[in-house]
């Protein structure tokens, strides 16, 4: 199974991550890219790059034929799938094998056995691995699913049996919401995985999401590399992962490790995989699923074991046995996922141009696949980077990670950096008490961690000093986050010492400090304590009235119009759902702001939309 050139059938930070290790081991690499990713960092870091289609993933990164063709044209003899996209699709494994390519991952049979969550749970039950109660049947009618839900009780999860990453998953807390949850999960799963089959699972309240990293070779050896705690989630999507878990005791670790190894053996597994459990309040673990691929959060395991899991993947794929030396664990590692999203507005994904990004200044590991001047588009996941801190204990790791999030911001569009910093310092996280429900509960309760930070006085003064410049004193009107202030500039107590290379150094009240900052035209992007602000001078010219017009329904972000529930002539009530825009793994429903009659529909279903595009016009009722 020797190979020399590896094609990475993925994009972004994971493609860059695989390229880095492959080059260190002496392999050549081939990147692939869609029209939206031309010139992206992963294409520049690889030895060769091949275009595979339009921006839409279904026509590029999910196009098996295009990927096989790219491998053959570039001379690649192996394929690494990364995670997401085709990484858990057995038909991709079979296509690679048929084309004479080594697939760096598990065999198709193991992937098929674990790829369908319902079949996997049935197999685990037969193997004696504890599972959360649920419905795993083949009858997919709404009537049967509704009946099974009544038996299971609330709350429960509707889950796609295929794929992962939180796609095709809905939390149901009231039976009246179940029909819409079924429809939404089916639709999302069909679009993401080509399979809308669903299962039901009783939600274990106050549970902790604990996963075990397993590895297996072709010589019959299976082992685990400890656990990761992934309980800090929003909407079932992971935000922070750590190893070891602050809540898992040695006996629990041994039991989960034993069950995870048994699960891998039961399907003849090969390569890197993750067995996921939910641990209830009594400390009992229940099998959720097995991810037959490398995980987003694999770096924390690498930190505490001092092992390169991508290297292990490549060596196992080449037929080498796993090392016989025992795995040694050291310290504590925490990973935070940086998303271009607005955590203070329902975690709504954001698109735009990256004005500043200097991860090399951080003292911790940052895995990423973006660059200054590059665009974050609506076509793919909103995660752009991972911050990974390794400390001698948990307190040490938290401190290092908080500092990195403050010092290495991405500027130009909103991110969750400040929210991550505040989450890491929240008393519940510091105490190690997080469950999968915490962040969603905070959102419902209006916890301070989810309240948008306002620019402090020091930020206003810095912005005035930069945008006002030197010269005769005058009053400068600045705006930020909807607030306008008039400031005297230049101020005697603020002196800009240096503003270059993405850093602002200034003396304020006799104290010299530095801040990440960049100026784009008349706008200053400035980060203070991890929070990013954009300041601009108020125009002296009259501006067009910008209040929200209830007669106009516009796209909140760039994406695709996934659903349209009205037609011209329909009468709608205030609050009625009208359309759904899908972007970055999220569905955003647009509701009528007032009662009216649909006058015009400007877009068709399954077409692309830009942020602010007019979708529907209403004739408001008196």
Average pLDDT, the chain: 93
Each residue of 494-520: pLDDT tens digit?
999 999 999 999 999 999 999 999 999
For residue 608, the model assigns a pLDDT of: 81
Q: What domains can you pick out in the chain, each with its CATH number?
A: 5-104 (3.40.50.20), 133-202 (3.30.1490.20), 208-444 (3.30.470.20), 457-537 (3.30.700.40), 552-620 (2.40.50.100)
Q: What angle do CA 183, 188, 193 make, to 5 degrees?
A: 130
Instruction: Write out the H or E segment, with its range, that includes residue 394.
Output: helix 394-407
Strand pairing class (5-8; 531-537): unpaired
pLDDT single digits (tens) 12-31: 999 999 999 999 999 999 99
Answer whether residue 132 shows pLDDT above 60: yes
Overall average pLDDT of the 206-212 stretch: 94
Please give the pLDDT value at position 386. 98
pLDDT of residue 165: 66
| 231: number of Cβ within 10 Å | 28
Q: In the structure, what pLDDT confidence band is assigned to residue 607 with cuts at 50, 70 and 90?
A: confident
- Alpha carbons 187 and 196: distance in angstroms, whole number: 7
Q: What is the pLDDT of residues 174-192, one digit of tens each?
A: 999 999 999 999 988 887 7
Provide the sign of the torsion angle of the four alpha carbons 150, 153, 157, 161, taken in this order: negative
Beta strand segments in 392-502, E = 410-411, 474-480, 483-489, 494-500
129-168 in b/e burial notation, b at 16+ Cβ within 10 A? bebbebbbeeeeeeeebeebbeebeeebbbbbbbbbbbbb
Element (H, E) at 493: none
What pLDDT digit, counting tens, does each position of 288-341 carry?
889 999 999 999 999 999 999 999 999 999 999 999 899 999 999 999 999 999
Q: What's the pLDDT score for residue 301? A: 98
| Residue 597 banded pLDDT, cuts 50, 70, 90 | very high
What pLDDT, on a 0 to 100 scale, did the predictor assign at position 115? 79
Helices (H), 153-193: 178-193
**Which pLDDT belongs to residue 88?**
93
List the beta bridge partners of residue 102.
78
In percent, the amount of the chain with pLDDT more than 90 equals 79
Is the peptide bond preceding residue 244 cis, with omega within 30 degrees of 0? yes
Specify the pLDDT at position 545. 44
Model confidence band, residue 242 (pLDDT cutoffs 50, 70, 90): very high
Burial class from Cβ neighbours inside 10 Å (0-12, 13-18, 19+) for residue 567 reads exposed
Q: What is the pLDDT of residues 47-79, one digit of tens each?
A: 999 999 999 898 999 999 999 999 999 999 999
Average pLDDT over residues 149-166: 86
């Amino acid at each position: 199974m020797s190979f020399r050139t590896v094609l990475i059938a993925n994009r972004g930070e994971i493609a860059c991550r695989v390229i880095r290790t492959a080059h260190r081991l002496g392999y050549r690499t081939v990147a692939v890219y869609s029209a939206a990713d031309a010139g992206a960092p992963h294409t520049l870091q690889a030895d060769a790059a091949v275009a595979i289609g339009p921006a839409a993933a279904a026509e590029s990164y999910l196009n098996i034929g295009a990927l096989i063709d790219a491998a053959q044209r570039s001379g690649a003899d192996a394929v690494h799938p990364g995670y997401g996209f085709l990484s858990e699709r057995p038909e991709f494994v079979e296509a690679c094998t048929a084309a004479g390519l080594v697939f760096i991952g598990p065999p198709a049979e193991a992937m098929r056995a674990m790829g369908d969550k319902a079949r996997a749970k049935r197999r685990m039950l037969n193997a004696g691995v504890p599972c959360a109660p649920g419905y795993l049947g083949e009858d997919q009618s709404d009537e049967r699913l509704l009946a099974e839900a009544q038996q299971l009780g609330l709350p429960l999860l509707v889950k796609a049996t295929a794929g992962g990453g939180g796609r095709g998953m809905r939390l149901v807390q009231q039976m009246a919401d179940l029909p819409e949850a079924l429809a939404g999960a089916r639709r999302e799963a069909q679009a993401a995985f080509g399979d809308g089959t669903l299962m039901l699972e009783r939600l274990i309240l106050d549970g902790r999401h604990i996963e075990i990293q397993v590895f297996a070779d072709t010589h019959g050896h299976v082992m685990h590399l400890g656990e990761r705690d992934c309980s800090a989630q929003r909407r079932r999507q992971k935000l922070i992962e750590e190893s070891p878990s602050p809540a898992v005791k040695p006996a629990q670790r041994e039991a989960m490790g034993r069950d995870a190894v048994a699960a891998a053996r039961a399907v003849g597994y090969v390569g890197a995989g993750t067995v996921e459990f939910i641990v209830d309040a009594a400390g009992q673990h229940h099998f959720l699923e097995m991810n037959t691929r490398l995980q987003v959060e694999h770096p924390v395991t690498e930190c505490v074991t001092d092992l390169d899991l991508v290297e292990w993947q490549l060596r196992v794929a080449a037929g080498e046995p796993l090392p016989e030396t025992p795995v040694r664990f050291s310290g504590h590692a925490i990973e935070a996922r940086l998303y271009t999203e607005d955590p203070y507005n329902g975690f709504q994904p954001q698109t735009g141009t990256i004005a500043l990004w200097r991860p090399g200044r951080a003292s911790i590991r940052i895995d990423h696949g973006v660059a200054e001047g590059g665009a974050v588009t609506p076509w793919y996941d909103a995660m752009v980077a991972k911050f990974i801190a390794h400390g001698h204990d948990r307190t040490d790791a938290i401190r290092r990670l908080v500092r990195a999030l403050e010092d290495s911001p991405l500027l130009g569009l909103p991110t969750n950096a400040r929210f991550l910093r505040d989450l890491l310092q929240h008393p519940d996280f510091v105490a190690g008490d997080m469950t999968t429900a915490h962040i969603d509960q905070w959102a419902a309760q209006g916890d301070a961690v989810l309240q948008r930070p306002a620019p402090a006085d020091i930020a206003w003064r810095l912005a005035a000093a930069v945008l006002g410049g030197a010269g005769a004193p005058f009053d400068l009107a600045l705006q930020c986050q909807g607030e306008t202030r008039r400031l005297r500039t230049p101020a005697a107590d603020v002196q800009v010492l240096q503003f270059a290379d993405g850093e602002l150094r200034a003396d304020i009240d006799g104290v010299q400090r530095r801040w990440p900052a960049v100026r784009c035209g008349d706008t200053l992007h400035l980060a203070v304590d991890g929070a990013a602000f954009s300041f601009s001078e108020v125009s002296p010219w009259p501006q067009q009235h910008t209040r929200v017009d209830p007669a106009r329904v516009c796209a909140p972000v760039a994406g695709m119009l996934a659903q349209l529930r009205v037609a011209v002539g329909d009468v709608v009530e205030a609050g009625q759902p009208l359309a759904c825009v899908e972007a970055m793994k999220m569905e955003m429903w647009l509701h009528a702001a007032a009662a009216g009659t649909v006058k015009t529909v400007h877009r068709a279903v399954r077409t692309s939309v830009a942020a602010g595009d007019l979708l529907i016009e209403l004739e408001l009722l008196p």
